[in-house]
């Protein structure tokens, strides 16, 4: 391994020297996929000599072509997957390419990496190749590139692991379950093959020197966890001339998780589940991380109140905020939780829209709400309650036209806890895994918010009429003068429903008004300067309608009597004036 990275240092130094001679500097930067570049190839194309392309965990299906002097690194070997989509090669390197390829898992391809045309000093290190155990598949194909180095990789379930046409440096690798041959190729000798382990291959090929056989003792190949159990023969069995493991600073292990540049990240915890709950506690269990580096490690538990947000504070009465250091046990109970303190916020109610025996109610969403309850009544919102589910609008039907209703809404939400666990290894650096799959559980009853703001409105049969103020011939005079939802318009509608349409002459007047009003309203909309004058003219009628519709029966009758007397006296005075004229 020292030789590989000595070449890197020399190449970088040479490039810097050449750059100084050309009065330019070496561009050294990290290009991140997918945050900075959506595709790996796009990042490689944008990189300059000496840059690193770092790929975050995820699955990437691309045909990648390397260029010289660019390091290609996965952030986490077990969770950074390169897929060929059933074909390949996934990565191609040709000509003067000396770029290292490290910390990936190659899957589902006919060829994982293809190196050709005297690629110089390519180093393939600390990868897992699990491309599919079909005879026609190849994890790595090396053609006319004798300087290639293949160090500290794990080959599991491939057709042929390595096919090469010259002696190349093959050290500290695990070859398992090859369906054709572990190491093959025309005229390929074994002078540079050493410190590898071979297990369950149909054909092995040259074993070289200091090789091992037997089960490598992976933690869980079915989950692509190729870390080593504590009984693995690969532990500390690598070439002593190479640098020690970066993870625990002991002699190099054989396989993808050994050597100076091994990814130290533990495999994520699996099997997290809720064992039992009470109104104030949650008991959790999970499967242990069986890597020998985690045998004496520990676990860390994260909890919170929303997906992926582990900012919980109420465990043990507030004495154990997230995350909690669990220790070596694979079970833990969150105690003395206080879910009742997490009452959801009250919604904000919009103005209801009136319809015939209907009020259409809507409100603003509340974060985390599982649903809403509508409250309404003639005297208070508390008279009726209706669970409307997780919607943001609802039509209250079967109401009485002209009857005012007071309306409010509440939100409700379960007291959910979102929980994940990580593993920490037993090294001094305590490397931490990614979080486990999240579990969510509810404890205690549903929590309901306080009432929203209260709105008052009444259903109105006239709401069914077309009253679009911006459409010629589709609007009535009061609507054109005041605006569609103005209080004066609503008052006049109630007056119509309570007084005019309850008598024959009133219904005839309403019908006459509906025939003629749209044309007048259209004229008014075309001449808005007249609207203030119309509002002044309508004001006495609006005042009288408000008194009649919002007062008691006795007061309304008295008001009507006074109004009638006023009209009668006005007529008498007018007749008297007419009679006194010469």
Domain with 332 in it? 273-340+418-432
**Which among 476, 456, 472, 454 is positioned nearest to 464, based on CA atoms?**
476
Q: Domain boundary at 169, 200, 228, which?
A: 228
- How do strand 197-199 and strand 174-176 relate by DSSP bridges? parallel
In a domain, 238, yes or no: no
**Which among 262, 257, 213, 259 is positioned nearest to 239, based on CA atoms?**
259
Asked if residue 300 and residue 169 are part of one domain, the reply reads no
Measured CA to CA, the distance from residue 141 to residue 165 in angstroms comes to 9
Asked if residue 278 and residue 222 are part of one domain, the reply reads no
In a domain, 521, yes or no: yes
Q: What CATH number corresponds to the domain at position 318?
A: 2.60.40.10
Extract the tokens encoding 359. 């009020």
Band of residue 558 on the pLDDT scale cut at 50, 70, 90:
very low
Asked if residue 283 and residue 202 are part of one domain, the reply reads no
Whether this prediction's pTM lies above 0.75 is answered by no
What is the total count of domains within the chain?
Answer: 3
Asked if residue 307 and residue 209 are part of one domain, the reply reads no
- How do strand 128-130 and strand 105-107 relate by DSSP bridges? parallel
In a domain, 384, yes or no: no
Q: What CATH number corresponds to the domain at position 17?
A: 2.160.20
Beta carbons of 79 and 227 less than 8 angstroms apart: no
Asked if residue 211 and residue 62 are part of one domain, the reply reads yes
In a domain, 22, yes or no: yes
Supply the pLDDT for residue 5: 35
Asked if residue 219 and residue 135 are part of one domain, the reply reads yes
Asked if residue 183 and residue 40 are part of one domain, the reply reads yes
Computed from CA positions of residues 18, 20, 25, 29, in that sequence, does the dihedral angle turn out positive or negative?
positive
In a domain, 132, yes or no: yes
Supply the pLDDT for residue 189: 67
DSSP run (H or E) holding 376: strand 371-377
Measure the CA angle with vertex 479, ends 475 and 483; round to 5°. 120
Q: Give residue-wise pLDDT tens across range 227-243.
A: 999 999 999 999 999 99
Mean pLDDT across 406-427: 96
In a domain, 576, yes or no: no
Measured CA to CA, the distance from residue 422 to residue 437 in angstroms comes to 10
- How do strand 358-362 and strand 169-171 relate by DSSP bridges? unpaired
Beta carbons of 259 and 125 less than 8 angstroms apart: yes
Asked if residue 524 and residue 427 are part of one domain, the reply reads no
Q: Give residue-wise pLDDT tens across range 436-476.
A: 999 999 999 999 999 999 999 988 775 433 333 333 333 47
Residue with more model confidence, 96 or 577: 96
Q: Give residue-wise pLDDT tens across range 58-82.
A: 999 999 999 999 999 999 999 999 9
At residue 575, the 3 state secondary structure works out as helix
Average pLDDT, the chain: 85
In a domain, 254, yes or no: no
Asked if residue 163 and residue 67 are part of one domain, the reply reads yes
Supply the pLDDT for residue 27: 55
DSSP run (H or E) holding 550: helix 531-550
548: left (phi over 0), alpha (psi -120 to 50) or beta: alpha
Asked if residue 169 and residue 33 are part of one domain, the reply reads yes
Asked if residue 108 and residue 51 are part of one domain, the reply reads yes
Asked if residue 299 and residue 214 are part of one domain, the reply reads no
Q: What are the CA-CA distances from residue 342 to residues 274, 369, 411, 413, 452 (Å)?
A: 21, 11, 12, 9, 17
Measured CA to CA, the distance from residue 111 to residue 143 in angstroms comes to 13
Measured CA to CA, the distance from residue 227 to residue 267 in angstroms comes to 8
Q: Give residue-wise pLDDT tens across range 145-191.
A: 888 999 999 999 999 999 998 889 999 999 999 999 999 987 666 77
User: Measured between alpha carbons, how far apart are the two ends of the chain, in Å?
Assistant: 129
In a domain, 57, yes or no: yes
Q: Give residue-wise pLDDT tens across range 298-347.
A: 999 999 999 999 999 999 999 999 999 999 999 999 999 999 988 999 99
């Amino acid at each position: 391994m020292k030789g590989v990275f000595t070449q890197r240092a020399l190449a970088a130094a040479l490039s810097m020297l050449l750059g100084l001679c050309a009065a330019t500097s070496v561009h050294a930067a990290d290009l991140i996929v997918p945050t900075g570049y959506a595709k790996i190839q796009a990042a490689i194309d944008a990189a300059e000599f000496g840059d690193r392309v770092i790929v975050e965990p995820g699955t990437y299906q691309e045909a990648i072509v390397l260029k010289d002097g660019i390091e290609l690194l996965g952030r986490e070997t077990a969770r950074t997957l390169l897929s060929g989509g059933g074909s390949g090669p996934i990565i191609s390197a040709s000509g003067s390419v000396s770029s290292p390829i490290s910390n990936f898992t190659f899957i589902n391809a006919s060829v994982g990496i293809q190196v050709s045309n005297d690629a110089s000093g390519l180093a393939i290190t600390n990868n897992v190749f699990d491309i599919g155990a079909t005879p026609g598949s190849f994890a790595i194909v090396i053609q006319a590139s004798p300087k290639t180095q293949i160090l500290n990789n794990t080959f599991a379930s491939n057709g042929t692991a390595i096919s090469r046409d010259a002696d190349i440096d093959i050290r500290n690798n695990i070859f398992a379950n090859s369906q054709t041959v572990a190491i093959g190729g025309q005229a390929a000798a074994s002078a540079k093959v050493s410190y590898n382990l071979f297990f369950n291959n149909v054909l092995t090929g040259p074993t070289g020197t200091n090789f091992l056989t037997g089960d490598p003792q992976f933690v869980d190949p079915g989950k692509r966890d190729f870390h080593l159990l504590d009984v693995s023969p690969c532990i500390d069995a690598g070439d002593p001339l190479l640098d020690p493991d970066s993870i625990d600073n002991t002699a190099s292990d054989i396989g993808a998780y050994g050597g100076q540049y091994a990814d130290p990240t533990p495999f994520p915890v699996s099997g997290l589940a809720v064992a039992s709950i009470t109104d104030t506690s949650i008991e959790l269990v999970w499967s242990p991380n069986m890597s020998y580096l985690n045998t004496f490690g520990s676990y860390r538990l994260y909890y919170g109140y929303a997906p992926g947000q582990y900012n919980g504070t109420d465990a043990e009465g507030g004495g154990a905020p997230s995350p909690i250091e669990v220790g070596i046990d694979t079970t833990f109970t969150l105690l003395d939780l206080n879910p009742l303190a997490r009452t959801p916020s009250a919604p904000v109610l919009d103005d209801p829209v009136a319809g015939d025996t209907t009020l259409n109610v809507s409100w603003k969403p509340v974060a985390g709400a599982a649903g809403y309850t509508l409250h309404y009544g003639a005297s208070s919102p508390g008279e009726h309650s209706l669970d409307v589910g997780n919607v943001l609008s609802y039509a209250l039907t079967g109401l009485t036209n002209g009857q005012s209703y007071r309306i409010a809404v509440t939100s409700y939400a379960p007291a959910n806890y979102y929980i994940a666990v990580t593993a920490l290894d037993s090294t001094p650096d305590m490397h931490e895994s990614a979080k486990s799959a999240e579990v969510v559980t509810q404890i205690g009853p549903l929590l309901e918010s306080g009432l929203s703001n209260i709105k008052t409105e009444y259903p109105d049969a006239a709401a069914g009429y077309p009253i679009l103020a911006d459409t010629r011939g589709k609007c009535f005079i009061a609507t054109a003068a005041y605006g569609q939802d103005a209080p004066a318009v609503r008052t006049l509608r109630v007056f119509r429903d309570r007084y005019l349409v309850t008598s024959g002459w009133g219904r005839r007047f309403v019908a006459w008004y509906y025939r003629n009003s749209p044309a007048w309203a259209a004229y008014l909309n075309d001449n808005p300067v007249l609207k203030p004058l119309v509002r002044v003219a309508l004001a006495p009628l609006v005042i009288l309608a408000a008194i009649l519709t919002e007062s008691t029966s006795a007061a309304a009758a008295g008001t009507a009597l006074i109004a009638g007397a006023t009209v009668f006296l006005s007529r008498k005075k007018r007749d008297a004036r007419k009679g006194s004229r010469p």
